[in-house]
Amino acid sequence: MRAENLLSSKLSAVCHVGGYYSLRKGNEWKMSSDVFAQNKFYYIKKGRCTITIEGKAYEGTPGMCFFIPAGTRHSYINDTSDHFAKYWIHFDIYPDNESFFRKMKPVYFIVVRNPAKFDNLFKLITKGLKSENVADLLCGKAALLNLVAEYIKMTVPDTKITSSIDEGIESVLEYIDNKMEKAITLEDLSGVCHLHPTHFIRWFKKKTGETPAHFVQKRKYEVAKRLIEETDLTLNEIMSRVGIMDASQFSKKFKSFYGHSPSYFRKNINAMDNAFKKNKSKHE
């Protein structure tokens, strides 16, 4: 299977929170320097703000759309002398959220040349977040992928898939996803493609750029993060789902990947979700 086909079959986007955010004159939208595990879009509709990304300040004005990749340090504050409004979303790209965009060296902002299209995409995403209707959910997900595609076309249009992924490595990746709750060994993986473990390590690293052990570990924590975001499972239940038994090690390694402990991360997600619901009720 060609790398392009594998990417399209595996690629998925999930929007966790977002919507339309509007503040009257005198009210403040502010966050001190921090790092989030999700990617962000901020699409400025009214007023002005300053968004600082990796130490560089950018002035946000109506018609500008900011993209902040996962793991990027940033802060923001609006100009309170006027009405301020924006669309915003936090989202992940699976299966490899941070690496997906880092390889592209994305541009942090664009000036939107087709406001009607961007407005519609954000409205569809927001509607999908509010609705339990299957059609709305699918339209919202499609709009998110469309938005990401539009941004890439406007900033890094010549991005190519350069990996040499083939059917052999696809089988290994599928095995990892299907055995997530198990302790996956080198012998298990090498057996999938009938290679000696030593040869398999070299082959796997050539195909993915990572050792099998690191890839499996990273994938387990990606799944754990997704379960924390999207389910009400306890942390112990999530650990069981990804085959991790040591709670201390789970917390320590999770923090090394995403900057915060699992419990803090869940608390932060719930706080964002509650803030979104509170803001949504103001405008309904």
Full residue range of the structural domain in which residue 211 is found: 167-268
The CATH number covering residue 39 comes to 2.60.120.280
Looking at the domain assignment, is residue 114 inside a domain?
yes
Q: What is the pLDDT of residue 98?
A: 58
Domain boundary among 144, 160, 176: 160
Give the CATH number, domain containing residue 186.
1.10.10.60
Nearest to 159 by CA among 95, 101, 208: 101
**Is residue 148 domain-shared with residue 185, that is, in the same domain?**
no
Residue 210 pairs in a beta bridge with none
Considering the domain architecture, whether residues 99 and 151 belong to the same structural domain is answered as yes
Phi, psi of 21 (to 5 degrees): -120, 125
Same domain, 27 and 91: yes
Of the given ranges (99-113, 132-146, 150-164), which has the lowest mean pLDDT? 150-164
User: Do β-strands 64-68 and 56-60 pair in parallel, antiparallel, or remain unpaired?
Assistant: unpaired
- Co-location of 89 and 153 in the same domain: yes
Q: Which of 136, 113, 5, 120 is nearest to 63 (CA)?
A: 113
pLDDT of residue 1: 40
Q: Which two tokens stand for residue 234?
A: 């306890």
Q: How many CB atoms lie within 10 A of CB 20?
A: 17
Reported as a single tens digit per residue, the pLDDT across 60-73 is 999 999 999 887 88
Give a yes or no: residue 2 inside a domain. Answer: no
> Tokens representing 184?
């996956």
Any domain includes 274: no
Q: Buried (b) or exposed (e) across 197-229, using 16+ Cβ within 10 A?
A: eeebbebbeebbebebeebbbbbbbbbbbbbbb
Q: Are 138 and 175 members of one domain?
A: no
pLDDT at site 2: 42
- Looking at the fold, whether 127 and 187 belong to one and the same domain comes out as no
Q: Is residue 273 part of a domain?
A: no
**Residue 121 placed within a domain:** yes
Q: Is 73 left (phi over 0), alpha (psi -120 to 50) or beta?
A: beta
Q: Is residue 62 part of a domain?
A: yes
Q: Tell me whether residue 255 is exposed, middle or buried, using C-beta atoms within 10 angstroms of its C-beta: 0 to 12, 13 to 18, 19 or more.
A: middle
Tell me, yes or no, whether 252 and 129 share the same domain: no
Q: According to the model, what pLDDT value does residue 86 have?
A: 96
- For residue 59, the model assigns a pLDDT of 96
Domain boundary (160, 180, 195) is at 160
Q: Contacts for 244-247 with beta carbons within 8 Å, 24 or more apart?
A: 244/220
pLDDT tens-digit profile of 75-125?
Answer: 999 999 999 999 999 888 876 655 677 667 778 999 999 999 999 999 999
**Residue 5: pLDDT band with limits 50, 70, 90:** very low
- Out of 133, 160, 187, pick the residue that ends a domain: 160
Is 142 found in the same domain as 81? yes
Pick the residue with more confidence: 59 or 280?
59
Q: What pTM does this model have?
A: 0.63
**Residue 5 falls inside a structural domain:** no
Same domain, 142 and 41: yes
pLDDT score at 122: 96
For the ranges 87-91, 135-139, 209-213, 249-253, which has the lowest average pLDDT?
209-213
Shared domain check, 102 and 214: no
Q: Which residue has the higher pLDDT, 103 or 272?
A: 103
Strand pairing category for 84-94 and 12-23: antiparallel
Arithmetic mean of pLDDT, 159-186: 76
Nearest CA to 6 among 169, 194, 179?
169
Beta bridge partners of 74: 34, 53
- Residue 119's contacts (CB-CB under 8 Å, 6 or more residues apart) are 87
Name the percent of the chain lying above pLDDT 90.
46
Residue 119: is it exposed, middle or buried by C-beta count within 10 angstroms (0-12/13-18/19+)? middle
Q: What is the mean pLDDT of residues 223-239?
A: 86
The pair of three-digit structure tokens given for residue 277, joined into one six-digit string: 């619901």
Q: Is the pLDDT of residue 42 over 80?
A: yes
Q: Is residue 152 part of a domain?
A: yes
More confident residue, 230 or 155: 155
Is 136 found in the same domain as 199?
A: no
Please calculate the CA angle 279-281-271 and round it to the nearest 5 degrees.
45
- The most confident of the ranges 193-197, 260-264, 268-272 is 193-197
- Tally the domains of the chain: 2
pLDDT score of 65: 96
Q: How far apart are CA 135 and CA 127, in angstroms?
A: 10
Answer yes or no: is pLDDT of 3 > 50: no
Co-location of 137 and 187 in the same domain: no
